[in-house]
Amino acid sequence: MSSDATPDPLDHPLVFGQRMQVLRTRRGMSRTVLAGLLDKSPSWVKQIENGTLHTPGLPMILRIAEVLRVRDLAELTGDQSLPVDLFIGPGHAKLPAVRAAIDAFPLAADREAPSPAYLSARLESAWAARHSAPNHREVIGGLLPVLLRDAQLAVRQADRAAERRAAQAVLAEVYSLSQFFIAYQPDSALLWRVAERGMVAAQESEDPHAIGVAAWLAAQAHRDSGPAHFEAADAVTLETLRYLTPLLPDATHDVRAIAGALRFEAGYTAACRGDTGTAWGYWDTAGKVAERLPADYYHPVTSFSRAIMGAHAVTVAVELRAGGESVRQAAKADSKTIRSRPRRARHRIEEARGYQLDGQSETALAALDKAFEAAPETIRYNGYARRIILEETESKSPAHRRRAAELAVKIGMLAA
């Protein structure tokens, strides 16, 4: 077989280089493109793939895994004895209770359901608690089981069309809150169940805001599932924008904001594809939506606002693997204006990715320290943060290794 031929993925066992070639060709990526993203030569990629060079060390394996969007490290390394899902965090202690509330199928009602208005007020408080809490999964994991049961009950007991639509809108948003809790935990089937139920409840509600939020989260779920699902992410995003756009002239701030957030999501997906022009084009249109919102406005679910656009620019640059641009955008973004602690921590992680792309490993670790200060649970469940820490534990610099090891202990990476 020619060294340029693609090995058969079913021809087991494949060595590392063959697996890398299969995954690269599955993504439709040339050796030249992969080499550029890894700061290596096309010849180096070819020699790894045909076995002329030995398997690289852990930091490079992790970088290859990120570039090729590999979710389970065993898929790249072939070592099935120690599968490592790079984008799944630990299971939270409150996950079983939340799962039980989602999976419940009660038919009899032993009490009167709260009104949609009362549930909406409780939901608003739950979102506020999530944004202000450093350990946000702990907080909303305690609130969700009762909220889910009450919202489901309100839908079942609604006997008028208007009341039922209002209850469905609340239930859709409770499912949205649930997705924030479940994301990156070891139950992807539960995440998809909630995403689909949220979409159905939102459609039943006929509420533009509920529909927009459900679509925003569904698009993220598709994109996070890997390149094969990027088209599905775009389909959800663009169809929802077509629905919302005619409503915007008379819409509330929240509806206009979710439309802006969806425009950014389209740009985010384009950046993941490597489509620079489309990615920055959508970022720009999202920014124009943000500029038309009040200066102090902050969307209660997505954090969309004028303040968030700087953080979004860092994300676009990072996904485009543009290290220098990531650092320039990070210098312009003011994370202190991001009110949500988990969203602020997420921005710090994106900054860390940018600094590492630019070769500034020490600054990357400092950014992760700031992420931990803002919201420990965000960094604990973030695969990119864990990958950077793992890479830096292999650094040639003793100081970097020590700092990375300290972070690994703080976020619980070394727990059994």
Q: What domains, with CATH codes, occur in the chain? A: 16-77 (1.10.260.40)
If phi > 0 it is left, if psi is from -120 to 50 it is alpha, else beta; for residue 271 that is alpha
pTM for the structure as a whole? 0.81
* Residue 149, pLDDT score: 94
Q: Answer yes or no: is pLDDT of 9 > 80.
A: no
Residue-wise pLDDT tens digits, 257-285 = 999 999 999 999 999 988 999 999 999 99
Give the list of residues 6+ apart from residue 128 with CB closer than 8 angstroms, or none. Answer: 300
Alpha carbons 253 and 299: distance in angstroms, whole number = 8
Least confident stretch, 240-254, 275-289, 313-327, 395-409: 395-409
Region 57-66 average pLDDT: 80
* Residue 299, pLDDT score: 96
Q: 284-309 in b/e burial notation, b at 16+ Cβ within 10 A?
A: ebbbebbeebeeebbbbbbbbbbbbb
Q: 45-56 in b/e burial notation, b at 16+ Cβ within 10 A?
A: bbbbbbeeeeeb
Alpha carbons 86 and 242: distance in angstroms, whole number = 34
pLDDT band at 5 (very low <50, low <70, confident <90, very high): very low
pLDDT band at 296 (very low <50, low <70, confident <90, very high): very high
Q: Answer whether 307's CB lies under 8 Å from 284's CB.
A: no
Q: Answer whether 185's CB lies under 8 Å from 381's CB.
A: yes
pLDDT band at 414 (very low <50, low <70, confident <90, very high): low
Fill in the amino acid letter for 217.
L
Q: 171-205 in b/e burial notation, b at 16+ Cβ within 10 A?
A: bbbbbbbbbbbbbbbebbebbbbbbebbbebbebb
Region 51-62 average pLDDT: 82
Least confident stretch, 7-21, 83-97, 371-385: 7-21
Average confidence score pLDDT of the chain? 88
Count of CA atoms in the C-beta half-sphere (13 A) of 355: 20
Fill in the amino acid letter for 146.
V
* Residue 186, pLDDT score: 82
Q: Answer yes or no: is pLDDT of 201 > 70.
A: yes
Q: Answer whether 109's CB lies under 8 Å from 156's CB.
A: yes
Q: Give 85's strand partners.
A: 72
* Residue 69, pLDDT score: 75
Q: Answer yes or no: is pLDDT of 212 > 90.
A: yes
* Residue 1, pLDDT score: 39
* Residue 36, pLDDT score: 81
Alpha carbons 403 and 414: distance in angstroms, whole number = 14
For 23-160, strand residue ranges (E) read none
Least confident stretch, 155-164, 196-205, 387-396: 387-396
Residue of 53, 52, 4, 54 whose CA lies nearest to 24: 4
Give the list of residues 6+ apart from residue 191 with CB closer than 8 angstroms, or none. Answer: 179, 182, 183, 185, 221
pLDDT band at 30 (very low <50, low <70, confident <90, very high): confident
Residue predicted with more confidence, 179 or 78: 179
Q: Answer yes or no: is pLDDT of 7 > 50.
A: no
Residue predicted with more confidence, 352 or 80: 352
* Residue 284, pLDDT score: 98
Residue of 387, 328, 378 whose CA lies nearest to 353: 387
236 membership: H or E segment, kind and range: helix 230-244
Q: Answer yes or no: is pLDDT of 11 > 70.
A: no
